[in-house]
Amino acid sequence: MAVNKLEIIECAIEQLDKKEPEMIKNMLIQFMKENLQAPKAKKNLSVFDFVATDKEELKIRPVMGGVFMDKKNKVAVATDGHVMMVSKSEYKANNFKSGIITKDGKTIPGKYVNYEFVLNQYKDIKHIKLYDEKTLIDMALITQAEWELMDGLTAPCIPITPDKDCAIDFFPIRRLPILLSVGLEGWMHDKCAFLYEDDDKKIFIMSVVTSEHYTNRVINEK
């Protein structure tokens, strides 16, 4: 039987007199989980969703604030330094000197980052089977709640596969909408990165390296 939010708070208050800090913590995590918004797939995932938005990053590499229309390979490319998308269908030929454009059609001068070099680093990719969507979302909500309660410093992340070769490579929760948008099939893994590929696009997402202890705890708490 589901416990409503008020009952969770009342139970946590009762434990104060019993001096049960771990139980109180778990109740608070459950309460926060009930109040968090679950990750959702984006309706129309676009290469523009992968451009950099961090102001400090853009000061250093302003070209990452736009999409690179690569005439040589006839693909549209965007990255924020942690995720990348290469799309055939979103490529648009243009006469701009730099070939880097923003969503509103403005051009960004400069030379784009060597995205091909990054992708070519991953040659030992292995197809992986992911946890089902319900499990992924549940783990994400619990981990996010605990992270907010404990004021975590590193970005919250979760395991997305039971594959032992990925035991310490976790998926950043803030990137889950990307995964949910393209689906659970077609994902691969190779040294600190998760990759996806279909007939139209390639997606690259850097993993968060964790410890075995952290891996086991998150899986056991889901």
Structure confidence by residue, pLDDT tens digits, 11-63:
655 555 556 666 666 766 776 677 778 889 988 999 999 999 999 989 999 99
CA dihedral of 148, 154, 158, 160, whole degrees rounded to 10? 150
Grouping H, G, I as helix, E, B as strand and the rest as coil, residue 77 is strand
The Cα 216–Cα 14 span in angstroms is 30
* Amino acid in position 161: T
**DSSP 8-state secondary structure symbol assigned to residue 126:** E
DSSP letter assigned to residue 59? H
What percentage of the chain exceeds 70 in pLDDT?
76
Give helix 21-35 / helix 5-18 axis angle, nearest 10°: 170
DSSP class of residue 107 equals B
